[in-house]
Chain A
Amino acid sequence: MNDGVHSHDEATEHLELELAVRAALQAVFDPEIPSLSVVDLGMVEDVACLSNGQVNIRMMPTFMGCPALLLIENNVKKAMMQVPCVTSVDVEFVHTTPWTTERITDEGKRKLKEFGIAPPRCGLGAAKVLEATCPYCGSTDTHLDNLFGPTACRSIFRCNSCRQPFEAMKPV
């Protein structure tokens, strides 16, 4: 019976560690969009917490050439080392399934809009023309100014209704 109680405690501890790790990941933000976490972006593929305090995190790169990846990796490692009971961290970028913009959570989409970036309305190639909803006034009457924007993952649009130029995340 004692063993049963013991393993129950271990299971609880393990669950607590995993919850703490996941909560800490929620606080690792995209270096270019400070309100958006790696969890909101759907970058975390898998989290494994071992009983010795080792944490293995598998992440999916958004754009392959994104210069922020190394920064994100370091920020994840730093955040994990702040979690009590974590002894070491391994972060691996995997490509077994491609990251797509459809992985961005609803919360992530809300935060993108709040930051002034229109979230993608559909998946890659689903629409003939690239479309975006104005993050400022909500109008769908917008037009594409430049397929490319300040970062590889964004395009530049203009709203025909409120005349505001804005950025939109490219569906990929």
Chain B
Amino acid sequence: MPQWKDASEIHDEAIRAALIELLTQAADDDLVLGHRDSEWLGLAPAIEEDIAFSSISQDEVGHATFLYGLIHDLGGPQPDDMAFLRPATAWRNAGLLERGNGDWAYTVVRHFFYDQFETTRLEALVDSAYGPLADGAKKIIREEYYHRIHFDLCFRKLLGAGGEAGERMERAIEAIRGDLWTLFDFGSDAQAWIHAGLLTQDVQGLREAFLARINEPLTACSVPAVTGDELNRSGGGRTTHTGELSDLIQTMAEVVNTEEAALW
């Protein structure tokens, strides 16, 4: 199987396009959730969480910036242009991630599930045939370690607490499980990723690894496990977007829309 050390070694345009799609999905996921995380700054229910969210959102946005950089190396737009100048229809984030933050329980449950998904995806990227992506995945997975242990703790404690906390967590899980399939709705390029070794795990394998990760704590807290069928849907999970994404982009791009040449 071919290995590519950098962008200049990819001569097959179909592979280049598929790789850009893979990177766009991963980068958009990180930036959209990282932006949602930043919306809690100054408002989180505890000072410790406010501090945690400043680092967590900074990490997510940093990972997105790195991935947008790889897209630029492959001939795509500048990272800032990817973030600020694309219409919502061009974004490839999972629908789950663009939803408003809701309450704290929704935020914790969504982040916990996303971190488990992201780890599953990163593990299938550390040996990617595209060297720069494999290198980045190895670094990102180390940084994500702290997100994982933080949200694992929050998830189990709040869900196991009973009372209002437990009720809110169960409501959030119920709402989010209906959106989880959007994470796995990779579109028609997924075959090419696996075939070219850009991603080293097939979609079914990713789903199974994700389910094993999230169902252990759910079952431990007597919440019904998520089934493979719930994830096995497709149709616009990453291509159809809501007004919530347009609003998010507009907020992010406020400065650039006011003064395009502004340096900040």
* Chain A residues in the interface with B (C-beta under 8 A): 63-67, 95-100, 124-125, 145-152, 156, 170, 172
Task: Decide yes or no: A151 and B55 within 8 Å by CB, A65-B65, A96-B135 being known contacts.
Answer: yes
| Residue pair A64, B59 in contact (C-beta under 8 Å) | yes
Across chains A and B, which 3 residue pairs bring their CB atoms closest together, nearest first?
A65-B62, A148-B52, A98-B139
| Residue pair A152, B58 in contact (C-beta under 8 Å) | yes
Closest to B67 in A: A64
Query: CB of B56 within 8 A of chain A?
Result: yes
* CB contact list, B52-83 vs A, under 8 A: 52, 54-56, 58-63, 65-66
One of B51, B132, B146 near A95 (C-beta < 8 A): B132
| Residue pair A147, B61 in contact (C-beta under 8 Å) | no
Residues of B in contact, count (CB < 8 Å): 26
| Residue pair B139, A99 in contact (C-beta under 8 Å) | yes
Closest to A154 in B: B55
Q: How many A-B contacts if CB must be within 8 Å?
A: 67
Using an 8 Å CB-CB cutoff, how does the interface string of B15-59 with A read, 1 for contact, 0 for none?
Answer: 000000000000000000000000000000000100110111011
| Residue pair A65, B63 in contact (C-beta under 8 Å) | yes
Q: A64-B62, A148-B48 are in contact. List 20 more A-B contacts (CB 8 A).
A: A63-B59, A63-B62, A64-B59, A64-B136, A65-B58, A65-B60, A95-B136, A95-B139, A96-B135, A100-B142, A124-B142, A145-B48, A146-B52, A147-B146, A148-B51, A148-B52, A151-B55, A152-B55, A170-B146, A172-B143
One of A66, A148, A170 near B62 (C-beta < 8 A): A66
| Residue pair A147, B139 in contact (C-beta under 8 Å) | no
Query: CB of B195 within 8 A of chain A?
Result: no
One of A67, A145, A148, A151 near B146 (C-beta < 8 A): A148
| Residue pair A98, B138 in contact (C-beta under 8 Å) | yes
Point out the residues of chain B lying under 8 angstroms from A170, CB to CB. 146
Using an 8 Å CB-CB cutoff, how does the interface string of B120-136 with A read, 1 for contact, 0 for none?
Answer: 00000000000010011
Chain B contact residues: helix, strand, loop or mixed: helix
Query: CB of B99 within 8 A of chain A?
Result: no
Chain A contact residues: helix, strand, loop or mixed: loop
| Residue pair B145, A125 in contact (C-beta under 8 Å) | yes
Point out the residues of chain A lying under 8 angstroms from B54, CB to CB. 148
| Residue pair A147, B150 in contact (C-beta under 8 Å) | yes
One of A100, A125, A145, A148 near B55 (C-beta < 8 A): A148
Point out the residues of chain B lying under 8 angstroms from A65, CB to CB. 58-63, 65
Point out the residues of chain B lying under 8 angstroms from A125, CB to CB. 145
Point out the residues of chain A lying under 8 angstroms from B142, CB to CB. 98, 100, 124, 172
Tell me the complex Cα distance, A152–B63, Å. 13
**19 A-B pairs with C-beta separation under 8 A:** A63-B59, A63-B143, A64-B59, A64-B62, A64-B139, A64-B143, A65-B58, A65-B60, A65-B62, A65-B63, A95-B136, A99-B139, A124-B142, A149-B55, A150-B51, A151-B55, A152-B55, A172-B142, A172-B145
